[in-house]
Amino acid sequence: MYNKSSLHNRLEQAIAILPDESLFSPFDFWNLGRSTAILMALSRLTAKNLVLRIAKGLYIKTKQGATITQDINSVERLAYAIADKEGVQIRPTGDYALLKLGISENIPRTIVFLTNGTRRRIKTGSFTLIFKTTTKKKLIPENETVFLTIQAINILGTSILNQATIEILASRLIDVSPSSIQEFAHQVPQPTKRILVKIAAQLEHLQSIPIKALES
């Protein structure tokens, strides 16, 4: 005879050995029993605050009697945990990209990532995490700071990017070769290309200045 109580206990034991804030789905436990019974058991564990359902088919393990810390860093960790779990790529965009680049100090409540995976919208505490599906081409370049710079140009708009902003963007790319930026500039629309060429020129100027002079 099928024993739902036994399945519930085995599932709780299997989750108990996972590290705190581990991400998992019901599919990870299909070997324990029927899918409907596993979903029922997860529902009970959620009610006991042992796991948290963050989206359809996605759960996260919590410490007993605790909730997941809700700050922007925990939301970012959650985003990358989901991406790792699903084997997809994600890259920051929108106001979150400006924050990471240091162009803005405002902490956005909607955190947007471009992805080659499934579109998602997850409410987590006071934040909303969004995965926005895009093409593979829009997930390059590989260098994170260069990617964030492209996002900043797209968000701010080429028409309002003044010299002061170009200098700030160049300073964020101090460890990047100007030639690599110029090379990538050929892969983007003309308005963005013009800004990248200016940033590369400013970066070349910054890299010619001795480090002691930059620090003074």
Q: Which amino acid is at 139?
A: L
pLDDT at 212 over 60: no
Q: What is the mean pLDDT of residues 159-174?
A: 88
Cα of 192 vs its chain's centroid, Å: 23
Q: What is the spatial distance between Cα 129 and Cα 111, in angstroms, rounded to a whole number?
A: 5
Q: Which amino acid is at 70?
A: Q
pTM for the complete prediction? 0.78
- Averaged pLDDT of the chain: 86
Query: What residues does each domain of the chain span?
Result: 4-61, 72-138, 155-215
State residue 176's pLDDT score. Answer: 92
Q: In what order do the strands lie in the sheet with 58-61?
A: 23-24, 58-61, 51-55
Q: In what order do the strands lie in the sheet with 120-124?
A: 90-93, 110-115, 127-133, 120-124
pLDDT at 5 over 70: no
Q: 171 vs 41, 102, 161, 181, 192, CA distance in Å?
A: 52, 10, 15, 13, 18
**The pairing of beta strand 127-133 with beta strand 110-115:** parallel
pLDDT (tens digit, 9 = 90+) per residue, 7-28?
888 999 999 999 888 889 998 9
Residue that is written with structure tokens 């110029």 in the block: 182
The CATH code for residues 4-61 is 1.10.10
State residue 73's pLDDT score. Answer: 85
pLDDT (tens digit, 9 = 90+) per residue, 63-117?
765 555 568 888 898 899 899 988 999 999 999 999 999 888 899 999 999 999 9
Q: What is the spatial distance between Cα 70 and Cα 74, in angstroms, rounded to a whole number?
A: 6
pLDDT top residue among 213 and 33: 33
- Residue 196 confidence class, pLDDT cut points 50, 70, 90: very high
Residues of the chain with pLDDT > 70, as a percent, come to 90
State residue 211's pLDDT score. Answer: 44
State residue 69's pLDDT score. Answer: 55
Q: Which residues contact 140 (CB under 8 A, 6 or more apart)?
A: 147, 187
